[in-house]
Amino acid sequence: MTYKCIFSDIDGTLLNSKNEVSSITKKKIKQLNEEGIPFVLVSARMLKGMDFIQREIEVKAPMICYSGAIVYDEDYNIIYSQGFSVEKAKEIHQFIQENYHFPISIYYENHWCTDYVDAGIQLESEITGIIPEPLDYSSISIVHKILLISSPENINSIEKELKEKYADLNIYKSKPTYLEIMDASVLKSKAITYLCEQKEIPLSETLSFGDNYNDVDMLKTTGMGFAMGNAPEGVLNQVQNHTLSNDENGIVYALEHLL
């Protein structure tokens, strides 16, 4: 297969279980870069949680953040944005305050804000290396993502209630303890399609790699999509092509042996 662009999820895909990009993967990405094949990061993360990884792998390419809610060009300019209203975010915030009593994380553009810091927020801050800002709705005009971090029992209950109430939102678990909330129109595949149109790259000549449920639409949209070997069974069952796990350099294995 001839391919002109590669799209890769970060956590559980590009990063191994030590949250590192292996030297083997870095070497392969450098080779792709020398061949003029863009390696585009696609993640639920914000820009601050992605750009240092892009610098580490020495790539200059667009980035897709918040699972497709924002697309940045090579110079970190926003070229695509899709979010939901501050009023809706406040409704969800009030629901959490009244029924569950734990913090809410609001993401907009390149900002992460929270009403207070608990153990879950502190751990997310340590993982991403980002310190959240105090939440002030008056400074926000559009919300790109809400993240809720709590026990699996709370997350399961909240997911069910919010899905019944908000059909216009995309609500899914990225971990048993993490609930991601975005506008229903936000999809990794939609952002990828937009970017390919801008770059005049046929989708049939693209590849993608991912490991979780919010990657499935991306893996099915690109010319060929590979689910990582560490993906949940529910993801592996939906995606035709599988590669090795993120701890076994699955991206490199697919590029060198499965095309």
Number of domains making up the chain: 2
The distance of Cα 94 from the centroid of its chain, to the nearest Å, equals 26
Task: Please state the rounded mean pLDDT for residues 94-104.
Answer: 94
Integer Cα distance of 201 and 183 in angstroms: 26
In this structure, are 196 and 254 located in the same domain?
yes
In this structure, are 130 and 175 located in the same domain?
yes
For residue 87, report the phi and psi dihedrals to the nearest 5 degrees.
-60, -40
Summarize pLDDT for 80-89 with one digit per residue, the tens: 999 999 999 9
Summarize pLDDT for 144-177 with one digit per residue, the tens: 999 999 999 999 999 999 999 999 999 988 888 9
Mean pLDDT of the chain: 95
Give the residue numbers spanning the domain of 198: 5-81+186-258
In this structure, are 170 and 204 located in the same domain?
no
| Residue 2 pLDDT | 81
Summarize pLDDT for 3-47 with one digit per residue, the tens: 999 999 999 999 999 999 999 999 999 999 999 999 999 999 999
Integer Cα distance of 173 and 152 in angstroms: 10
For residue 238, report the phi and psi dihedrals to the nearest 5 degrees.
-95, -15
In this structure, are 152 and 114 located in the same domain?
yes
Percent of the chain scoring above 70 in pLDDT: 100
Residues 6+ apart with CB under 8 A from 259: 1, 3, 207, 224
Summarize pLDDT for 207-231 with one digit per residue, the tens: 999 999 889 999 999 999 999 999 9
Integer Cα distance of 196 and 65 in angstroms: 16
Catalytic residue list: 9
Integer Cα distance of 182 and 236 in angstroms: 24
- Which residues partner with 41 through β-bridges? 8, 63
| Residue 127 pLDDT | 82
3-class SS at 156? helix
Q: Which of 183, 213, 235 represents a domain boundary (last residue)?
A: 183
pLDDT at residue 1 above 70? no
> How many C-beta atoms lie closer than 10 Å to residue 248's C-beta?
16
